[in-house]
Structure 1
Amino acid sequence: MSSRLYVKGRLVAEEFDAAEAGARLRAEPGAVLWLDLVDPGPDELRALAAEFELHPLAVEDALTDRERPKLDRYHNHLFLNLYAVAFDDEVRKTEISAFITPRALITVRKPPDEVALHLDRWDADERLASGGVDFLVYGLLDVVVDGQYASAQRIDESMDGIEDRMIGEGAAPRDVRRRGFALRRTLAGLRRAVAPMPDVVREAGRALAADEHHLRPYYRDVEDHARRAVDLIEHSRNRITELLDDDLAEQSNALNDVTRKLAAWAAIIAIPTAITGYFGQNVPYPGYEKWWGFLISTACIVLTGSGLYAYLKRRNWL
């Protein structure tokens, strides 16, 4: 658990117990609070709900895993749900639920808590921090969206190696194709977390920065980053799908080549089979029961087979 108390944009207290949060806010009329809980129990969250008058439906969503990214409005607070993500060979996601009251931001991180939130920017600009909870929410959204965009970039960059190995003669190795399918599945999972974010950020800006003229550009900037992340994910999905389709077409071409070669060799083998079959019948032929008859049949086999081979080779069937 982490906790911070700000007064006029300055950090005045931190790392105090959640039970003290309400008393500290009442003691400092101009203060704003950030309370970060990691996998709290139902009793702990209901105690905070009673202290800050949180809606039961919002509390239920905060206790439920895999809620979709959204922003819900209640009579005295907002409820925000989103996913912080990171990528290193696979996507790691941390679901974050947030209760946004006029003087407090309460975040609930659900297990597995795999992505760290580096919110140092909250202390970097005292002027912006004076925006109170609106600025705290902006900082949270900015960190989450930046992580989503960075993950999308890393996935797109990791496709370069796959593309290099797929572009070549013949079908790609099996391990490359499996890696491509894994990345496409990863992108599908990442898209579910990122696609709703532009609308979520826009709604948050309307709800929180409507009267904060100095914060509006910052919310718009986060929305722009969220849209860029969505566009990059869509681009990457199309890219990996086209690569896999091209590889499938290359496999089909390779199979056609093999089939054509087998048909050509079957034709070549059929010629001597037909000739020997013919000479094996009870029909007199030049050299029948003569030693030089064997030479004639052999010459026919060699000449016709060689001629057919040359013809098929010239047509690139072999």
Structure 2
Amino acid sequence: MIRNLSRAVRRAYHRTVDLSHPARSPLGSAVENCVVYREGGRQPGDWAPGEAIRRTREHREGFVWIGLHEPTEEEFAGLAKLFGLHPLAVEDAIHAHQRPKVERYDDTLFAVFKTVRYVEHEQLTATSEVVDTGEVMVFVGRDFVITIRHGSHGSFGPLREALERLPDQLQKGPSAVLHAIADRVVDDYLDVTDAVQNDIEAVETAVFAERTARGDAGQIYQLKRELLELKRAVVPLHRPLQILAHEPPAAVSPEIQPYFRDVADHLARATEQINAFDGLLDSILQAHVAQVTVAQNEDMRKITAWAAIVAVPTMICGIYGMNFDHMPELHWTYGYPLALGVIATLCLGIHRGFRRNGWL
């Protein structure tokens, strides 16, 4: 049941092709949307936050979902006061650069998620950007959800529209939105890890298929750095999801708690893949270094072999270049051809010996 519902949300989300979601309220540049939900349905009209929460509390049912994108301190101050948000959480939400976490402030839950996006590229280079990260902060109260995005990706428009196709889920309240966000974020982790796997396979093929150039080490190292950025987004989310799945605060509906266990399972899969990729990249880098070392040894053997061959004529010519009057074959007609013949014979013999032993 839980897995089927999660898949339903994902299918509804992926059916939405347009990832942009225009603002539907004239509330300022930071506010992307302010929507009122009641009995699982979206209430028509453009709402201001104050009016939306007032109407919701008058009816004593439903909730308000306000979406913002990188608000300034001044833009967010009014909302923070209206909903009674804790100053520490407000500071974290505005300045971003937080680790994934879940914190409780009275009746309000504050959650931080790292979002990721795979950066398409024709060919991996030593400077390619592979993983782009952003942040999502979520305030969840009894009758409101406030989402704050940091970064150029991760619009909640498609997710909102997907949830609106599932009124039974929206009836579960603001924590249903929190689950949908966590589920989408973790699904993006899996999509990015699958894409990164293709890059790793391409690098692995290049390393073992042919002798690699020195620049390939830069590609491997850059991919490892990008994987580390992905790891910093994924791994710290384990504890927050465990809290939501097994020790949920009052803001999380008991009906939603089991759904976070499903998300935690997906996160565990993403974490296992990333750890495996990290170990694989270490092995690939070590294999590349070993290949470079072997290539250098082969080059040194060839240089040594040719130096030994060149030493023969150098030695003979050096002896006959000492200009003594009484030396063998100096005044013999065939002395010079004989010396050249001896040099050639010795050089060819040494060359064959090195070739037979694999040095040339």
TM-score of the aligned structures, taking structure 2 as reference length: 0.81
Given candidates 294, 311, 315, the residue that maps to 2:353 is 311
Q: Taking structure 1 as reference, are residues 14 and 107 closer, same or farther at Cα in structure 2, changes over 3 Å only?
A: farther
Q: Taking structure 1 as reference, are residues 304 and 211 closer, same or farther at Cα in structure 2, changes over 3 Å only?
A: closer
Listed one character per residue, the Cα deviations across residues 223-251 of structure 1 (whole Å, up to 9, x for unaligned) are 11111112212222222232222112111
Equivalent pairs, count: 316
Given candidates 87, 90, 97, the residue that maps to 2:137 is 97
- Report the counterpart of residue 250 of structure 1 in structure 2: 291
Decide whether the 8 Å contact of 2:100 with 2:236 is kept in 1: yes
% same residue = 28
Listed one character per residue, the Cα deviations across residues 26-67 of structure 1 (whole Å, up to 9, x for unaligned) are 222011121111122323322222211111111111111211
Q: Kindly indicate whether residue 155 of structure 2 is the aligned counterpart of residue 113 of structure 1.
A: no
Q: Kindly indicate whether residue 259 of structure 2 is the aligned counterpart of residue 228 of structure 1.
A: no
Q: Kindly indicate whether residue 219 of structure 2 is the aligned counterpart of residue 188 of structure 1.
A: no
* Deviation of 1:150 (Å): 0.8
Given candidates 49, 67, 77, the residue that maps to 2:80 is 49
Decide whether the 8 Å contact of 2:100 with 2:111 is kept in 1: yes
Listed one character per residue, the Cα deviations across residues 278-302 of structure 1 (whole Å, up to 9, x for unaligned) are 2333274432221212122122211
**C-alpha distance in 1 between matches for 2:231 and 2:114:** 11
Listed one character per residue, the Cα deviations across residues 187-246 of structure 1 (whole Å, up to 9, x for unaligned) are 111111111112111212331589855433321110111111122122222222322221
- Report the counterpart of residue 256 of structure 2 in structure 1: 215
- Higher relative contact order (Cα pairs below 8 Å, separated by 6+ residues): 2
Structure 2: give runs of 5+ residues left out of the alignment: 1-31, 121-129
Decide whether the 8 Å contact of 1:198 with 1:224 is kept in 2: no
**C-alpha distance in 1 between matches for 2:67 and 2:257:** 25
SS in structure 1 at match of 2:240: helix
Amino acid at match of 2:190: Y
* Deviation of 1:80 (Å): 0.8
SS in structure 2 at match of 1:305: helix
- Report the counterpart of residue 24 of structure 2 in structure 1: none
- Report the counterpart of residue 297 of structure 1 in structure 2: 339
**C-alpha distance in 1 between matches for 2:178 and 2:244:** 8
Moved more, 163-172 or 244-253: 163-172
Decide whether the 8 Å contact of 2:170 with 2:177 is kept in 1: yes
Decide whether the 8 Å contact of 2:50 with 2:82 is kept in 1: no
TM-score of the aligned structures, taking structure 1 as reference length: 0.91
**C-alpha distance in 2 between matches for 1:103 and 1:84:** 25
SS in structure 2 at match of 1:271: helix
Q: Taking structure 1 as reference, are residues 66 and 207 closer, same or farther at Cα in structure 2, changes over 3 Å only?
A: same
**C-alpha distance in 1 between matches for 2:73 and 2:55:** 23
**C-alpha distance in 2 between matches for 1:134 and 1:59:** 19
Q: Kindly indicate whether residue 53 of structure 2 is the aligned counterpart of residue 12 of structure 1.
A: no
- Report the counterpart of residue 239 of structure 2 in structure 1: 199
Q: Taking structure 1 as reference, are residues 73 and 38 closer, same or farther at Cα in structure 2, changes over 3 Å only?
A: same
Amino acid at match of 1:302: A
**C-alpha distance in 1 between matches for 2:293 and 2:135:** 43
Given candidates 77, 82, 85, the residue that maps to 2:113 is 82
Q: Taking structure 1 as reference, are residues 56 and 212 closer, same or farther at Cα in structure 2, changes over 3 Å only?
A: closer
Kindly report the root-mean-square deviation, in angstroms, between the aligned alpha carbons of the 2 structures.
2.1
* Deviation of 1:15 (Å): 4.5
Q: Taking structure 1 as reference, are residues 75 and 243 closer, same or farther at Cα in structure 2, changes over 3 Å only?
A: same
Moved more, 303-312 or 2-11: 2-11
Q: Taking structure 1 as reference, are residues 253 and 15 closer, same or farther at Cα in structure 2, changes over 3 Å only?
A: farther
